[in-house]
């Protein structure tokens, strides 16, 4: 984050073991603990943008870049791999399986992922792909 965020947490919402573990008793003011957020935290309006920027930097190190005109669409500068990202689901189109495996290895360096090589469900939509007609493979990966 370019600048830190702050929030007050009422003491009644902080479990006793957490209060003890982090020695928070001396930080209580008016029954609240003031928290400085230096990275990202679920619920902050900028959380999604920050996560996207972190992912883009990680992918760029392996030559994957976002499309200039289509949000959520990525390509590789040498491989015929394209993929979409919607929240935490990747839909990957590849021409050679080793290209898909390359992307998976890049993602695994930073994230825990699951895969569905049949590609039957993506972002809650059931899909039936004609692999013969498209002459390529596809599968879907979830990132957590």
Threshold 0.75, pTM exceeds: no
As a whole number of angstroms, the distance between CA 50 and CA 55 comes to 9
Q: Would you say residue 134 has pLDDT above 70?
A: no
pLDDT one-digit tens code per residue, 1-31: 577 888 899 999 999 999 999 999 999 999 9
**Across 79-98, average pLDDT:** 85
**Across 56-77, average pLDDT:** 93
Closest CA to 88 of 114, 109, 106, 60: 114
As a whole number of angstroms, the distance between CA 1 and CA 46 comes to 9
Q: Would you say residue 37 has pLDDT above 70?
A: yes
CA-based radius of gyration for the chain: 21
């Amino acid at each position: 984050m370019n600048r830190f965020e702050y929030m007050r947490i009422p003491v009644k919402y902080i479990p006793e073991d957490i209060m003890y573990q982090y020695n928070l008793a001396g930080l209580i003011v008016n029954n609240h603990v003031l928290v400085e957020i230096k990275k990202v935290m679920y619920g902050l309006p900028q959380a999604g943008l920050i996560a996207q920027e972190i992912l883009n930097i990680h992918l760029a190190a392996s030559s994957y870049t976002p499309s200039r005109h289509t949000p959520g669409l990525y390509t590789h500068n040498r491989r015929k791999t394209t993929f979409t990202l919607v929240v935490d689901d990747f839909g990957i189109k590849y021409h050679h399986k080793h290209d898909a495996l390359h992307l998976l290895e890049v993602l695994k360096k930073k994230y825990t992922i699951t895969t569905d090589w049949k590609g039957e469900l993506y972002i809650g939509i059931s899909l039936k792909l004609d692999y013969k007609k498209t002459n390529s493979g596809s599968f879907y990966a979830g990132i957590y």
